[in-house]
Structure formats: C-alpha cells, structure tokens
Amino acid sequence: MDKHDLLERLLKSWQTSPYPSVKITSYFPAYVELFGHLVGTRCVFIETGVLDGGSLFMWRDWLGPQARIIGIDLNPGAQRWRDSGFEIFIGDQGDPNFWRQTLREIGSFDALLDDGGHQSFQQIVTAIEAMSFSTTECVIAIEDTTTSFMRDFSAHGAHSFLEYAKDATDLLTGKSFSLFRNRFPDKINNDAVHDFRHVYSMRFYSGIVAFCVNQEYAQTPKLVRNRPPAGAADFRYNGVTSATVSWPSLLSEANLVEVKGGTNGD
C-alpha cells in the first residue's frame, strides 16, 4: 500500500472511531511515515494518553486485527477499555519506575506514541526510559511538542523537551567523531553518546519528534571505500568562501549572519 492509501485509510479509521479522539491535521502524514510499515503486521503499539478511548480504536482499525494495542494513562477510568480488547496500564509517565516496571511487563514493542501529559519532564522521561529499554527496532514518538513553547507549560524554563531533542541530535553526530579523532574537540561526553547508542535517527515534524531505534544501523560509523581513489583533484576550497543567510530563529527578529568557510579545513 502506498503512502497516499495509508493516509486515506488512517483518516477513515480516525473519523469512524466510535469514540472521541482529538488530533492535529499535520500528525496524520507523520503517523504514516513513522508507523505505516506496521500496518497489517503482528506489531506491538503503545499509546500514552487514552482519554475518551477514540485513538485506541483508530490504531486497531488502521494497524489491523493482529496488532497488540496498549494504552497507558494515569486515570484509572481508562481501565474500561480492557472490555474492548485493549491492554491498559495505569500509571504516571513522569515516573521512571513506572516505565521500568511496565515496559518489562509489556516486552519489546514496535512503536510508542506519547500523547499523555505533554509536560517537558514527562516527555523526556518517557523518551529516556523507552530508549534505554529498547534493543529491538522501534519508533518512539513524542507528540504535542509545541508545549515546549506554551506559556502554560513553561515551568521547564530553558530545559524544554524540544531543547533536549535538539541537543540530542549532536549525540548522533558524535558517533562519527571516532572516524577522524584529531579533527574534533578533545573532550566529548561519551556517556551521553552511549545513552543514544541504539538510536539510529531522529525525525522532527511540526509537533512530533521521533527517536528511531535500530541497533544494527546505529553502530559506530566506519569510513569505507568501494575502491581506491582515482586521483581526481578535490576543488573544495576553490569556490566562494562565505554565505550570508537568515538564521532560523523562531523567537528573535530576522538575523542575517555571514557563515565563513575555511581555507584548509579550518
């Protein structure tokens, strides 16, 4: 099934869910990209945040009858959805111990979508605990990341979920430092890089950030050649030497900066 068909089917599953679900339009194509490969498979799909139960039915209709759909919520009332065949765990996603115990019970999973409390610390704890538990291929997606900028969610100060996620992308880059050790800063935080050792990629959408776990692809990169170099001159320092660009800053005025190039790798 192509992306277009997967999206059509997902929207239909959402519209025809027998119970209410509130989502944002841009999320549906992101779901197709992040979870489309699971449609029709015996997957394990976890969603934090059950509320009126509508999204549980959407996932079951879209992913198919073989999917194991698991809902997590702090509200004990969510247990009612067990009668409809869903697995429900009650607990606080901001508590690392809840995740450790619950994920041990669930076992390996293919996808975890967080649509729970949306506070930065809850989103960060959810991502950390899911990443540290996962050794098999899976997608951990944190939804409603716009709360990182919301006045009523601002208790995180400078430590919002989105700042955490943006900084975490450096750890993926840091895995490549061993390729040319003397060209990079001497001191790097190897423990932090280790924490992300199973994360192969991170995907940013408007309102969603996903951590894609794949142990095989996440291995320390190596430099490889298909055959010896043929001797062509590398013209990397022969072009223009700088560019003036508008820096992508959301909360400040347009900021034009000159980005200079080096002449010898500097």
Ligand X SMILES: C[S@@+](CC[C@H](N)C(=O)[O-])C[C@H]1O[C@@H](n2cnc3c(N)ncnc32)[C@H](O)[C@@H]1O
Q: Residue numbers of the site for ligand X (CB under 6 A)? A: 21-23, 47-52, 54-55, 72-75, 92-94, 115-117, 122
Distance of CA 85 to the CA centre of its chain: 27
Position closest to ligand X via CB: 117
* Encoded amino acid at 53, one letter: G
Judge contact between 49 and 126, C-beta under 8 A.
Answer: no
CB nearer ligand X, residue 110 or residue 114: 114
* Encoded amino acid at 117, one letter: G
Query: What are residue 90's DSSP bridge partners?
Result: 73
CB nearer ligand X, residue 54 or residue 174: 54
CB nearer ligand X, residue 77 or residue 107: 77
Smallest distance from ligand X to CB 265, Å: 48
Distance of CA 74 to the CA centre of its chain: 22
CB nearer ligand X, residue 44 or residue 50: 50
What order do you get walking across the sheet with 111-114 strand by strand?
87-90, 68-73, 44-48, 111-114, 138-143, 208-213, 199-205
CB nearer ligand X, residue 47 or residue 61: 47
Instruction: Give SS3 for 181.
Output: helix
Judge contact between 256 and 246, C-beta under 8 A.
Answer: yes
Distance of CA 64 to the CA centre of its chain: 23
Smallest distance from ligand X to CB 132, Å: 18
Tokens found for residue 43: 């997957």
Smallest distance from ligand X to CB 109, Å: 16
CB nearer ligand X, residue 92 or residue 137: 92
Distance of CA 142 to the CA centre of its chain: 6
Smallest distance from ligand X to CB 184, Å: 39
Smallest distance from ligand X to CB 138, Å: 19
Smallest distance from ligand X to CB 239, Å: 50
